Structure 1
Amino acid sequence: MPHKIGFVTNSGGKLAHQNMLQVVKEFAEANGWTVMRYIDNAASHELILRAPGLSGTEQIYVGMRTYDNANADYYNLTAAGFTGYVAGNTFAAQPGAMFSGVPAHNLRIDYWLTLNGQRLVLAMKVGTPVYESMYLGKMLPYGRPSQYPYPVVVGGMLSGEPATRFSDSTHTCWVKGGYGRYNSSSTTYPNMRLRFNDGVWKTPEAYPYSNLYFGSSSYAVRDANGFYTLTPIVLNTSQEGLLGELDGVFHISGFNNAVENTVLINGLQHVVMQDVWRTGHNDYYAIRMEA
Protein backbone atom coordinates (compact mmCIF):
# COMPACT_ATOMS: atom_id res chain seq x y z
CA MET A 1 0.00 0.00 0.00
CA PRO A 2 1.60 3.30 -1.01
CA HIS A 3 2.16 5.73 1.81
CA LYS A 4 3.97 8.99 2.43
CA ILE A 5 5.08 10.63 5.67
CA GLY A 6 6.39 14.20 5.81
CA PHE A 7 5.47 17.79 6.45
CA VAL A 8 4.50 20.93 4.58
CA THR A 9 5.06 24.57 5.51
CA ASN A 10 4.05 27.97 4.19
CA SER A 11 6.35 28.00 1.18
CA GLY A 12 6.30 28.71 -2.52
CA GLY A 13 3.86 31.56 -2.03
CA LYS A 14 1.26 29.26 -0.48
CA LEU A 15 0.13 28.43 3.04
CA ALA A 16 0.66 25.00 4.58
CA HIS A 17 -2.90 23.73 4.09
CA GLN A 18 -2.76 24.78 0.44
CA ASN A 19 0.53 22.90 0.00
CA MET A 20 -1.09 19.88 1.70
CA LEU A 21 -3.63 19.79 -1.10
CA GLN A 22 -0.83 19.70 -3.66
CA VAL A 23 0.87 16.80 -1.84
CA VAL A 24 -2.34 14.77 -1.92
CA LYS A 25 -2.84 15.54 -5.62
CA GLU A 26 0.65 14.46 -6.62
CA PHE A 27 0.61 11.36 -4.41
CA ALA A 28 -2.78 10.17 -5.70
CA GLU A 29 -1.82 10.83 -9.32
CA ALA A 30 1.43 8.90 -8.91
CA ASN A 31 -0.47 5.88 -7.58
CA GLY A 32 -3.11 5.29 -10.20
CA TRP A 33 -5.80 7.80 -9.30
CA THR A 34 -7.08 10.27 -11.89
CA VAL A 35 -7.10 14.02 -11.24
CA MET A 36 -10.41 15.34 -12.56
CA ARG A 37 -9.90 18.91 -11.35
CA TYR A 38 -7.08 20.79 -9.71
CA ILE A 39 -7.42 24.52 -9.14
CA ASP A 40 -4.48 26.18 -7.43
CA ASN A 41 -4.58 29.95 -7.53
CA ALA A 42 -4.96 32.88 -5.18
CA ALA A 43 -8.75 32.63 -5.20
CA SER A 44 -9.36 28.91 -4.97
CA HIS A 45 -7.69 25.60 -4.11
CA GLU A 46 -9.74 22.57 -5.17
CA LEU A 47 -9.01 18.93 -5.93
CA ILE A 48 -11.36 16.29 -7.33
CA LEU A 49 -10.07 12.73 -7.79
CA ARG A 50 -11.36 9.52 -9.33
CA ALA A 51 -10.18 6.27 -7.78
CA PRO A 52 -10.18 3.02 -9.82
CA GLY A 53 -11.35 0.78 -6.99
CA LEU A 54 -9.73 -2.50 -6.01
CA SER A 55 -10.92 -4.01 -9.29
CA GLY A 56 -9.30 -1.26 -11.34
CA THR A 57 -12.55 -0.70 -13.24
CA GLU A 58 -14.57 1.38 -10.77
CA GLN A 59 -15.19 5.11 -10.60
CA ILE A 60 -15.05 6.49 -7.06
CA TYR A 61 -15.19 10.27 -6.81
CA VAL A 62 -13.77 12.16 -3.84
CA GLY A 63 -12.28 15.59 -3.30
CA MET A 64 -10.68 18.17 -1.08
CA ARG A 65 -10.60 21.94 -0.96
CA THR A 66 -9.32 24.64 1.35
CA TYR A 67 -11.40 27.14 3.30
CA ASP A 68 -9.93 29.73 5.63
CA ASN A 69 -10.22 33.14 7.24
CA ALA A 70 -7.13 35.02 8.38
CA ASN A 71 -9.11 37.27 10.75
CA ALA A 72 -10.58 34.24 12.53
CA ASP A 73 -7.23 32.41 12.30
CA TYR A 74 -8.48 29.15 10.84
CA TYR A 75 -7.00 27.37 7.82
CA ASN A 76 -8.97 24.24 7.06
CA LEU A 77 -9.43 21.48 4.53
CA THR A 78 -12.70 19.95 3.34
CA ALA A 79 -13.14 16.20 2.90
CA ALA A 80 -15.68 15.53 0.13
CA GLY A 81 -17.41 12.61 -1.53
CA PHE A 82 -19.38 12.63 -4.79
CA THR A 83 -21.35 10.19 -6.92
CA GLY A 84 -19.98 11.50 -10.21
CA TYR A 85 -18.19 14.39 -11.83
CA VAL A 86 -19.51 17.17 -14.07
CA ALA A 87 -16.77 19.40 -15.48
CA GLY A 88 -19.03 22.43 -15.75
CA ASN A 89 -20.27 22.26 -12.15
CA THR A 90 -18.74 24.02 -9.18
CA PHE A 91 -17.17 21.95 -6.40
CA ALA A 92 -20.29 22.30 -4.26
CA ALA A 93 -22.61 21.37 -7.14
CA GLN A 94 -20.94 18.07 -8.02
CA PRO A 95 -23.36 15.10 -8.04
CA GLY A 96 -24.24 13.77 -4.58
CA ALA A 97 -21.80 16.10 -2.81
CA MET A 98 -21.13 15.54 0.91
CA PHE A 99 -18.65 17.65 2.91
CA SER A 100 -16.88 17.49 6.27
CA GLY A 101 -14.36 20.10 7.40
CA VAL A 102 -10.96 19.22 8.85
CA PRO A 103 -9.06 21.84 10.89
CA ALA A 104 -5.54 22.34 9.57
CA HIS A 105 -2.86 25.03 9.75
CA ASN A 106 -1.20 27.79 7.76
CA LEU A 107 2.38 27.38 9.03
CA ARG A 108 3.26 23.68 9.33
CA ILE A 109 1.45 20.38 8.95
CA ASP A 110 3.06 17.03 9.70
CA TYR A 111 1.21 14.34 7.78
CA TRP A 112 0.70 10.59 7.33
CA LEU A 113 -0.90 9.77 3.98
CA THR A 114 -1.87 6.40 2.56
CA LEU A 115 -4.15 5.09 -0.18
CA ASN A 116 -5.15 2.02 -2.15
CA GLY A 117 -7.41 1.66 -5.15
CA GLN A 118 -10.59 2.60 -3.32
CA ARG A 119 -9.83 4.93 -0.43
CA LEU A 120 -7.45 7.58 0.89
CA VAL A 121 -6.60 8.32 4.54
CA LEU A 122 -4.83 11.49 5.65
CA ALA A 123 -3.79 12.20 9.26
CA MET A 124 -2.24 15.51 10.29
CA LYS A 125 -0.53 17.05 13.30
CA VAL A 126 -1.24 20.76 13.56
CA GLY A 127 -0.98 23.61 16.01
CA THR A 128 -0.46 23.00 19.70
CA PRO A 129 -0.35 20.07 18.58
CA VAL A 130 -3.60 18.26 17.95
CA TYR A 131 -4.34 15.47 15.49
CA GLU A 132 -6.86 15.75 12.68
CA SER A 133 -7.70 13.27 9.91
CA MET A 134 -9.99 12.28 7.06
CA TYR A 135 -11.16 9.15 5.23
CA LEU A 136 -12.29 9.38 1.60
CA GLY A 137 -13.58 6.46 -0.42
CA LYS A 138 -15.17 3.06 -0.07
CA MET A 139 -15.45 0.89 3.01
CA LEU A 140 -15.42 -2.93 2.84
CA PRO A 141 -19.13 -3.82 2.64
CA TYR A 142 -20.71 -6.96 4.01
CA GLY A 143 -22.23 -7.77 0.64
CA ARG A 144 -21.51 -8.27 -3.05
CA PRO A 145 -20.84 -5.29 -5.34
CA SER A 146 -24.23 -5.91 -6.94
CA GLN A 147 -25.85 -5.53 -3.51
CA TYR A 148 -23.93 -2.44 -2.38
CA PRO A 149 -22.16 -0.88 -5.36
CA TYR A 150 -21.11 2.48 -3.91
CA PRO A 151 -20.43 2.28 -0.14
CA VAL A 152 -18.47 5.52 0.03
CA VAL A 153 -17.50 7.07 3.37
CA VAL A 154 -16.71 10.74 3.96
CA GLY A 155 -14.97 11.00 7.31
CA GLY A 156 -13.90 14.39 8.63
CA MET A 157 -13.78 16.28 11.89
CA LEU A 158 -16.67 18.75 11.52
CA SER A 159 -20.27 18.89 10.37
CA GLY A 160 -20.11 20.70 7.05
CA GLU A 161 -17.57 23.49 6.70
CA PRO A 162 -17.90 25.63 9.84
CA ALA A 163 -15.47 28.34 10.93
CA THR A 164 -13.77 26.05 13.45
CA ARG A 165 -10.13 26.41 14.44
CA PHE A 166 -7.92 23.46 15.42
CA SER A 167 -7.89 24.76 19.00
CA ASP A 168 -11.63 24.15 19.39
CA SER A 169 -12.08 21.65 22.24
CA THR A 170 -15.41 20.15 21.17
CA HIS A 171 -14.76 18.71 17.72
CA THR A 172 -14.02 15.03 17.48
CA CYS A 173 -12.79 12.35 15.12
CA TRP A 174 -14.91 10.73 12.44
CA VAL A 175 -13.49 7.32 13.32
CA LYS A 176 -15.79 7.04 16.36
CA GLY A 177 -18.92 7.12 14.22
CA GLY A 178 -21.86 9.40 13.82
CA TYR A 179 -23.84 8.44 16.93
CA GLY A 180 -24.14 5.86 19.67
CA ARG A 181 -20.72 6.52 21.16
CA TYR A 182 -20.05 4.96 24.55
CA ASN A 183 -19.71 8.34 26.27
CA SER A 184 -22.57 10.27 24.66
CA SER A 185 -25.10 7.96 23.08
CA SER A 186 -27.71 10.71 22.72
CA THR A 187 -25.49 12.96 20.59
CA THR A 188 -25.21 12.75 16.82
CA TYR A 189 -21.87 13.61 15.18
CA PRO A 190 -22.51 14.02 11.44
CA ASN A 191 -18.81 14.24 10.58
CA MET A 192 -18.80 10.64 9.32
CA ARG A 193 -21.26 9.91 6.54
CA LEU A 194 -21.88 6.70 4.61
CA ARG A 195 -23.76 6.68 1.32
CA PHE A 196 -26.58 4.17 1.23
CA ASN A 197 -28.17 2.52 -1.80
CA ASP A 198 -31.12 4.90 -1.58
CA GLY A 199 -28.74 7.81 -2.20
CA VAL A 200 -28.94 9.15 1.36
CA TRP A 201 -25.78 9.97 3.32
CA LYS A 202 -26.39 8.56 6.81
CA THR A 203 -24.47 8.71 10.10
CA PRO A 204 -23.60 5.16 11.15
CA GLU A 205 -22.39 3.90 14.48
CA ALA A 206 -18.81 2.64 14.58
CA TYR A 207 -18.14 -0.46 16.68
CA PRO A 208 -16.18 -0.83 18.98
CA TYR A 209 -16.35 2.89 19.86
CA SER A 210 -20.08 2.43 20.44
CA ASN A 211 -19.57 -0.50 22.82
CA LEU A 212 -19.66 -0.09 26.61
CA TYR A 213 -17.08 -2.80 27.23
CA PHE A 214 -14.49 -1.08 25.05
CA GLY A 215 -15.39 2.37 26.33
CA SER A 216 -15.63 1.74 30.04
CA SER A 217 -12.47 2.04 32.09
CA SER A 218 -13.61 -1.05 33.98
CA TYR A 219 -13.65 -3.27 30.88
CA ALA A 220 -11.32 -1.59 28.38
CA VAL A 221 -8.95 -3.73 26.34
CA ARG A 222 -5.18 -3.36 26.65
CA ASP A 223 -2.03 -4.84 25.21
CA ALA A 224 -0.77 -8.32 26.08
CA ASN A 225 2.90 -8.12 27.03
CA GLY A 226 3.43 -5.26 24.62
CA PHE A 227 1.46 -6.82 21.75
CA TYR A 228 -1.57 -4.85 20.56
CA THR A 229 -4.73 -6.14 18.93
CA LEU A 230 -6.33 -4.31 16.05
CA THR A 231 -10.14 -4.39 16.13
CA PRO A 232 -12.00 -3.80 12.85
CA ILE A 233 -14.21 -0.71 12.90
CA VAL A 234 -17.65 -1.96 11.90
CA LEU A 235 -20.24 0.49 10.59
CA ASN A 236 -23.85 -0.19 11.45
CA THR A 237 -27.23 1.38 12.11
CA SER A 238 -30.16 0.20 14.20
CA GLN A 239 -32.34 0.06 11.05
CA GLU A 240 -29.98 -1.54 8.52
CA GLY A 241 -27.80 -3.62 10.85
CA LEU A 242 -24.15 -4.44 10.13
CA LEU A 243 -22.96 -2.78 6.95
CA GLY A 244 -19.20 -3.26 6.62
CA GLU A 245 -15.75 -2.26 7.88
CA LEU A 246 -13.44 0.66 7.35
CA ASP A 247 -10.57 -0.22 5.04
CA GLY A 248 -7.19 -0.13 6.78
CA VAL A 249 -8.29 1.82 9.87
CA PHE A 250 -8.68 0.03 13.21
CA HIS A 251 -9.43 0.54 16.87
CA ILE A 252 -6.36 0.13 19.05
CA SER A 253 -6.07 0.35 22.81
CA GLY A 254 -4.62 3.52 24.28
CA PHE A 255 -3.30 1.62 27.30
CA ASN A 256 0.42 2.33 27.58
CA ASN A 257 0.25 3.66 24.03
CA ALA A 258 0.99 7.04 22.47
CA VAL A 259 0.17 8.98 19.34
CA GLU A 260 2.61 8.54 16.43
CA ASN A 261 3.73 5.14 17.71
CA THR A 262 4.33 2.63 14.95
CA VAL A 263 2.99 -0.87 15.49
CA LEU A 264 4.05 -3.91 13.47
CA ILE A 265 1.14 -6.35 13.26
CA ASN A 266 1.12 -9.35 10.93
CA GLY A 267 4.24 -7.94 9.30
CA LEU A 268 2.56 -4.63 8.42
CA GLN A 269 3.34 -1.21 9.83
CA HIS A 270 0.55 0.83 11.40
CA VAL A 271 0.74 4.34 12.81
CA VAL A 272 -1.21 5.23 15.95
CA MET A 273 -3.36 8.38 15.94
CA GLN A 274 -5.51 10.05 18.59
CA ASP A 275 -8.82 11.91 18.61
CA VAL A 276 -7.70 15.58 18.39
CA TRP A 277 -6.32 16.33 21.90
CA ARG A 278 -7.87 13.35 23.71
CA THR A 279 -5.63 10.71 25.30
CA GLY A 280 -8.06 8.32 27.00
CA HIS A 281 -7.70 4.58 26.52
CA ASN A 282 -10.49 4.60 23.90
CA ASP A 283 -9.33 7.67 21.97
CA TYR A 284 -6.84 6.00 19.65
CA TYR A 285 -6.95 4.34 16.26
CA ALA A 286 -4.38 2.77 13.93
CA ILE A 287 -3.90 3.40 10.23
CA ARG A 288 -2.33 0.67 8.11
CA MET A 289 0.54 2.17 6.13
CA GLU A 290 1.60 -0.92 4.15
CA ALA A 291 -0.19 -3.47 1.97
Structure 2
Amino acid sequence: MPNAVGFVDNSTMLAHYKMLEKIRDFTSSNGWTVLRYDAVSANRELILQGPGLSGDQQIFIGFRTYQDVASDYYNLVVAGFTGYVAGNTFDTQPGAVLSGIPAHNQRIDYWLTLNGNRIALGLKVGTPVYEHVYAGYGLTRTLPSQYPYPLVIGGMLNGVPAVRFSDTGHSFPYRGTRSGQTANLRLRFNSGAWLQTDTWPWNAPVLAGTTQLRDTGANYPILPIILMDANGMYCELDGIFYISGFDNVTENTFIIAGINYVVLQDVGRNGFTDYIAMRLDA
Protein backbone atom coordinates (compact mmCIF):
# COMPACT_ATOMS: atom_id res chain seq x y z
CA MET A 1 0.00 0.00 0.00
CA PRO A 2 1.27 3.53 -0.75
CA ASN A 3 1.84 6.74 1.14
CA ALA A 4 1.20 10.40 0.37
CA VAL A 5 3.33 13.32 1.54
CA GLY A 6 2.35 16.88 0.71
CA PHE A 7 0.23 19.77 1.86
CA VAL A 8 -3.22 21.25 1.53
CA ASP A 9 -4.14 24.92 1.85
CA ASN A 10 -7.14 27.22 1.64
CA SER A 11 -6.92 28.01 -2.07
CA THR A 12 -10.21 26.22 -2.87
CA MET A 13 -11.69 25.51 0.58
CA LEU A 14 -10.62 25.66 4.22
CA ALA A 15 -7.55 23.49 4.71
CA HIS A 16 -9.12 21.09 7.23
CA TYR A 17 -11.95 20.48 4.73
CA LYS A 18 -9.35 19.88 2.04
CA MET A 19 -7.52 17.45 4.33
CA LEU A 20 -10.71 15.45 4.77
CA GLU A 21 -11.10 15.36 0.99
CA LYS A 22 -7.49 14.21 0.65
CA ILE A 23 -8.09 11.35 3.09
CA ARG A 24 -11.20 10.37 1.10
CA ASP A 25 -9.36 10.40 -2.23
CA PHE A 26 -6.30 8.55 -0.94
CA THR A 27 -8.17 5.81 0.91
CA SER A 28 -10.72 5.18 -1.83
CA SER A 29 -7.90 4.82 -4.37
CA ASN A 30 -6.10 2.29 -2.21
CA GLY A 31 -8.51 -0.42 -1.20
CA TRP A 32 -10.76 1.24 1.39
CA THR A 33 -14.49 1.67 0.80
CA VAL A 34 -16.19 5.03 1.31
CA LEU A 35 -19.50 4.43 3.10
CA ARG A 36 -20.34 8.10 3.61
CA TYR A 37 -18.88 11.38 2.44
CA ASP A 38 -20.65 14.62 3.28
CA ALA A 39 -18.91 17.61 1.72
CA VAL A 40 -21.80 20.03 2.26
CA SER A 41 -22.50 20.28 6.00
CA ALA A 42 -20.48 22.59 8.24
CA ASN A 43 -19.16 19.48 10.01
CA ARG A 44 -18.15 17.40 7.01
CA GLU A 45 -18.04 13.62 7.40
CA LEU A 46 -16.18 10.62 6.02
CA ILE A 47 -16.89 7.03 7.07
CA LEU A 48 -14.66 4.25 5.73
CA GLN A 49 -14.53 0.46 5.71
CA GLY A 50 -11.14 -1.22 5.57
CA PRO A 51 -10.51 -4.72 4.14
CA GLY A 52 -7.85 -5.85 6.62
CA LEU A 53 -4.66 -7.54 5.47
CA SER A 54 -6.66 -10.63 4.50
CA GLY A 55 -8.92 -8.58 2.23
CA ASP A 56 -12.13 -9.87 3.79
CA GLN A 57 -12.26 -7.91 7.05
CA GLN A 58 -14.68 -5.12 7.92
CA ILE A 59 -12.87 -2.33 9.79
CA PHE A 60 -15.02 0.74 10.42
CA ILE A 61 -13.44 4.12 11.05
CA GLY A 62 -14.38 7.71 10.31
CA PHE A 63 -13.18 11.29 10.12
CA ARG A 64 -15.12 14.52 10.39
CA THR A 65 -14.50 18.22 10.96
CA TYR A 66 -15.50 20.65 13.69
CA GLN A 67 -14.63 24.31 13.95
CA ASP A 68 -15.41 27.69 15.50
CA VAL A 69 -14.48 30.88 13.67
CA ALA A 70 -14.70 33.09 16.78
CA SER A 71 -12.34 30.80 18.73
CA ASP A 72 -10.09 30.26 15.69
CA TYR A 73 -9.95 26.48 15.74
CA TYR A 74 -10.46 24.23 12.71
CA ASN A 75 -10.16 20.62 13.76
CA LEU A 76 -10.58 17.07 12.58
CA VAL A 77 -12.04 14.10 14.43
CA VAL A 78 -11.01 10.46 14.14
CA ALA A 79 -13.52 7.81 15.18
CA GLY A 80 -13.80 4.06 15.50
CA PHE A 81 -17.02 2.08 15.09
CA THR A 82 -18.13 -1.53 15.38
CA GLY A 83 -20.41 -1.31 12.37
CA TYR A 84 -22.15 1.11 10.06
CA VAL A 85 -25.81 2.18 10.03
CA ALA A 86 -26.69 4.46 7.14
CA GLY A 87 -29.49 6.19 9.08
CA ASN A 88 -27.34 7.03 12.10
CA THR A 89 -25.43 10.24 12.60
CA PHE A 90 -21.64 10.10 12.65
CA ASP A 91 -21.48 10.33 16.44
CA THR A 92 -24.14 7.64 16.97
CA GLN A 93 -22.65 4.94 14.76
CA PRO A 94 -22.39 1.57 16.57
CA GLY A 95 -19.78 1.56 19.32
CA ALA A 96 -18.54 5.05 18.42
CA VAL A 97 -15.46 6.47 20.14
CA LEU A 98 -14.14 9.87 19.02
CA SER A 99 -10.92 11.85 19.42
CA GLY A 100 -10.24 15.36 18.14
CA ILE A 101 -7.15 16.46 16.20
CA PRO A 102 -6.25 20.18 16.21
CA ALA A 103 -5.76 21.28 12.63
CA HIS A 104 -5.87 24.53 10.63
CA ASN A 105 -7.94 26.52 8.15
CA GLN A 106 -4.88 27.55 6.16
CA ARG A 107 -1.92 25.31 5.34
CA ILE A 108 -1.57 21.72 6.62
CA ASP A 109 1.47 19.63 5.74
CA TYR A 110 0.77 15.91 5.99
CA TRP A 111 2.30 12.43 6.02
CA LEU A 112 -0.43 9.90 5.22
CA THR A 113 0.06 6.15 4.98
CA LEU A 114 -2.17 3.10 4.98
CA ASN A 115 -2.49 -0.60 4.48
CA GLY A 116 -5.55 -2.84 4.69
CA ASN A 117 -5.41 -2.79 8.49
CA ARG A 118 -5.00 0.83 9.42
CA ILE A 119 -4.51 4.48 8.47
CA ALA A 120 -1.78 6.59 10.08
CA LEU A 121 -1.43 10.34 9.66
CA GLY A 122 0.89 13.09 10.79
CA LEU A 123 -0.02 16.76 10.41
CA LYS A 124 2.08 19.92 10.69
CA VAL A 125 -0.03 22.96 11.48
CA GLY A 126 0.28 26.49 12.78
CA THR A 127 3.43 27.64 14.53
CA PRO A 128 4.24 24.74 13.66
CA VAL A 129 3.16 21.85 15.85
CA TYR A 130 2.71 18.19 14.94
CA GLU A 131 -0.54 16.27 15.34
CA HIS A 132 -1.06 12.52 14.99
CA VAL A 133 -3.71 9.94 14.04
CA TYR A 134 -3.86 6.16 14.20
CA ALA A 135 -7.07 4.40 13.12
CA GLY A 136 -7.44 0.67 12.50
CA TYR A 137 -6.25 -2.67 13.76
CA GLY A 138 -3.33 -3.26 16.06
CA LEU A 139 -1.08 -6.25 15.46
CA THR A 140 -1.99 -9.06 17.85
CA ARG A 141 -0.34 -12.36 18.74
CA THR A 142 -3.63 -14.25 18.73
CA LEU A 143 -5.80 -16.11 16.27
CA PRO A 144 -8.51 -14.00 14.61
CA SER A 145 -11.12 -16.13 16.39
CA GLN A 146 -9.57 -15.19 19.73
CA TYR A 147 -9.47 -11.44 19.11
CA PRO A 148 -11.61 -10.67 16.06
CA TYR A 149 -11.76 -6.86 16.24
CA PRO A 150 -8.58 -5.29 17.73
CA LEU A 151 -9.50 -1.75 16.72
CA VAL A 152 -7.24 1.06 17.95
CA ILE A 153 -8.21 4.72 17.73
CA GLY A 154 -5.56 7.30 18.52
CA GLY A 155 -6.12 11.04 18.19
CA MET A 156 -4.90 14.06 20.11
CA LEU A 157 -7.81 14.94 22.41
CA ASN A 158 -10.23 13.37 24.85
CA GLY A 159 -13.41 13.54 22.78
CA VAL A 160 -14.03 16.64 20.67
CA PRO A 161 -13.35 19.65 22.93
CA ALA A 162 -12.87 23.23 21.76
CA VAL A 163 -9.07 23.04 21.66
CA ARG A 164 -6.85 25.00 19.26
CA PHE A 165 -3.51 23.75 17.93
CA SER A 166 -1.76 26.32 20.15
CA ASP A 167 -2.91 24.51 23.31
CA THR A 168 0.15 23.26 25.20
CA GLY A 169 -1.58 20.50 27.14
CA HIS A 170 -2.51 18.05 24.40
CA SER A 171 -0.22 15.18 23.44
CA PHE A 172 0.09 12.44 20.86
CA PRO A 173 -1.76 9.22 21.67
CA TYR A 174 1.28 6.96 21.68
CA ARG A 175 2.18 7.53 25.35
CA GLY A 176 -1.08 5.87 26.39
CA THR A 177 -1.94 6.57 30.02
CA ARG A 178 1.39 8.38 30.42
CA SER A 179 0.01 11.34 28.49
CA GLY A 180 -2.32 12.40 31.31
CA GLN A 181 -5.23 12.46 28.84
CA THR A 182 -5.81 8.76 28.51
CA ALA A 183 -8.93 8.80 26.36
CA ASN A 184 -7.04 9.85 23.23
CA LEU A 185 -5.80 6.25 22.79
CA ARG A 186 -8.50 3.60 22.93
CA LEU A 187 -8.50 -0.13 22.20
CA ARG A 188 -11.66 -2.12 21.51
CA PHE A 189 -11.56 -5.29 23.60
CA ASN A 190 -13.50 -8.56 23.28
CA SER A 191 -15.72 -7.52 26.17
CA GLY A 192 -17.02 -4.60 24.11
CA ALA A 193 -15.19 -2.07 26.30
CA TRP A 194 -12.92 0.62 24.92
CA LEU A 195 -9.80 0.16 27.03
CA GLN A 196 -7.42 2.96 27.98
CA THR A 197 -4.01 1.31 28.09
CA ASP A 198 -0.44 1.94 29.02
CA THR A 199 2.21 1.73 26.29
CA TRP A 200 5.68 0.25 26.10
CA PRO A 201 8.34 1.65 25.96
CA TRP A 202 6.98 4.82 27.58
CA ASN A 203 6.21 2.72 30.68
CA ALA A 204 9.85 1.54 30.85
CA PRO A 205 11.92 4.25 32.60
CA VAL A 206 15.20 2.70 31.51
CA LEU A 207 14.19 3.30 27.88
CA ALA A 208 11.89 6.32 27.94
CA GLY A 209 11.99 7.91 31.35
CA THR A 210 14.87 8.62 33.68
CA THR A 211 17.26 7.45 30.97
CA GLN A 212 16.89 7.30 27.21
CA LEU A 213 18.10 5.53 24.11
CA ARG A 214 20.74 7.16 21.96
CA ASP A 215 22.00 6.54 18.46
CA THR A 216 25.03 4.37 17.76
CA GLY A 217 27.12 5.86 14.99
CA ALA A 218 24.09 7.83 13.74
CA ASN A 219 22.02 4.62 13.64
CA TYR A 220 18.85 4.78 15.75
CA PRO A 221 16.99 1.74 17.07
CA ILE A 222 13.24 1.84 16.58
CA LEU A 223 11.04 0.04 19.08
CA PRO A 224 7.48 -1.27 18.64
CA ILE A 225 4.76 0.52 20.60
CA ILE A 226 2.88 -2.11 22.59
CA LEU A 227 -0.53 -1.54 24.22
CA MET A 228 -0.68 -3.18 27.63
CA ASP A 229 -1.96 -2.97 31.18
CA ALA A 230 -1.84 -5.00 34.38
CA ASN A 231 -3.69 -7.84 32.61
CA GLY A 232 -1.06 -8.27 29.94
CA MET A 233 -0.13 -7.22 26.41
CA TYR A 234 -2.88 -6.67 23.83
CA CYS A 235 -1.29 -5.60 20.56
CA GLU A 236 1.34 -3.39 18.97
CA LEU A 237 0.78 -0.50 16.62
CA ASP A 238 1.27 -1.19 12.93
CA GLY A 239 3.99 1.01 11.41
CA ILE A 240 4.42 3.43 14.33
CA PHE A 241 7.59 3.10 16.41
CA TYR A 242 9.32 4.73 19.34
CA ILE A 243 12.56 6.51 18.43
CA SER A 244 14.91 8.51 20.60
CA GLY A 245 15.01 12.28 20.27
CA PHE A 246 18.70 12.39 21.22
CA ASP A 247 20.43 14.45 18.50
CA ASN A 248 17.36 13.85 16.35
CA VAL A 249 15.11 16.29 14.48
CA THR A 250 11.47 16.12 13.45
CA GLU A 251 10.89 15.37 9.75
CA ASN A 252 14.15 13.42 9.55
CA THR A 253 13.80 10.46 7.19
CA PHE A 254 15.60 7.12 7.02
CA ILE A 255 15.35 3.77 5.23
CA ILE A 256 15.17 0.25 6.68
CA ALA A 257 15.02 -2.71 4.28
CA GLY A 258 14.01 -0.41 1.43
CA ILE A 259 11.10 1.18 3.35
CA ASN A 260 11.06 4.90 4.14
CA TYR A 261 10.32 6.24 7.62
CA VAL A 262 9.73 9.79 8.85
CA VAL A 263 10.41 11.12 12.36
CA LEU A 264 7.67 13.29 13.89
CA GLN A 265 7.52 15.00 17.28
CA ASP A 266 4.76 15.31 19.87
CA VAL A 267 3.07 18.69 19.19
CA GLY A 268 5.79 21.24 20.07
CA ARG A 269 7.82 19.01 22.39
CA ASN A 270 11.40 18.08 21.53
CA GLY A 271 12.73 16.07 24.47
CA PHE A 272 14.40 12.68 24.20
CA THR A 273 11.06 10.84 24.59
CA ASP A 274 8.90 13.02 22.35
CA TYR A 275 9.33 11.39 18.95
CA ILE A 276 7.93 8.56 16.87
CA ALA A 277 8.96 7.07 13.54
CA MET A 278 6.17 6.46 11.03
CA ARG A 279 6.60 3.84 8.33
CA LEU A 280 5.65 5.20 4.94
CA ASP A 281 4.12 2.13 3.37
CA ALA A 282 5.22 1.51 -0.20
- Normalising by the smaller structure, the TM-score range is over 0.9
* 1:276 matched to 2:260: no
**Aligned match of 1:213:** 206
Contact 1:119/1:247 (CA < 8 Å) preserved in 2? yes
What's the TM-score once normalised by structure 1's chain length? 0.95
**Aligned match of 2:218:** 226
Report the alpha carbon displacement of residue 209 of structure 1 after superposing the two structures with TM: 1.1
Query: 4+ residue stretches of structure 1 with deviation over 4 A?
Result: none
**Aligned match of 2:251:** 260
Amino acid across the alignment from 2:263: V
**Aligned match of 1:146:** 145
**Number of residue pairs aligned between Structure 1 and Structure 2:** 282
Mapping for residues 57-76 of structure 1, pairs under 5 Å:
57-76=56-75
Contact 2:206/2:212 (CA < 8 Å) preserved in 1? yes
Amino acid across the alignment from 2:227: L
Mapping for residues 135-174 of structure 1, pairs under 5 Å:
135-174=134-173
Report the alpha carbon displacement of residue 141 of structure 1 after superposing the two structures with TM: 1.1
Work out the CA distance in 2 between the residues paired with 1:20 and 1:41: 15
Work out the CA distance in 1 between the residues paired with 2:11 and 2:41: 14
Work out the CA distance in 2 between the residues paired with 1:191 and 1:32: 27
Report the alpha carbon displacement of residue 142 of structure 1 after superposing the two structures with TM: 2.0
Percent identity at matched positions? 54
Cα distance change on mapping 1:188 and 1:67 into 2, 3 Å: closer
SS at structure 2 position matched to 1:287: strand
What's the TM-score once normalised by structure 2's chain length? 0.98
Report the alpha carbon displacement of residue 44 of structure 1 after superposing the two structures with TM: 3.2
Report the alpha carbon displacement of residue 11 of structure 1 after superposing the two structures with TM: 2.4
Which of 212, 218, 236 aligns to 1:245? It is 236
**Aligned match of 2:82:** 83
Work out the CA distance in 2 between the residues paired with 1:188 and 1:11: 35
Work out the CA distance in 2 between the residues paired with 1:176 and 1:188: 10
Contact 1:142/1:242 (CA < 8 Å) preserved in 2? no
Work out the CA distance in 2 between the residues paired with 1:215 and 1:43: 41
SS at structure 1 position matched to 2:92: coil
With 154-163 and 139-148 compared, the bigger mean Cα shift is at 139-148
Mapping for residues 48-197 of structure 1, pairs under 5 Å:
48-177=47-176, 179=177, 181=178, 187-197=180-190
Cα RMSD, aligned residues only: 1.1
Work out the CA distance in 1 between the residues paired with 2:114 and 2:214: 28
Work out the CA distance in 2 between the residues paired with 1:283 and 1:54: 30
Where do 5+ consecutive residues of structure 1 fail to align?
A: none
Amino acid across the alignment from 2:103: A
Report the alpha carbon displacement of residue 244 of structure 1 after superposing the two structures with TM: 1.2
Work out the CA distance in 2 between the residues paired with 1:273 and 1:161: 23
SS at structure 2 position matched to 1:141: coil
SS at structure 1 position matched to 2:91: coil
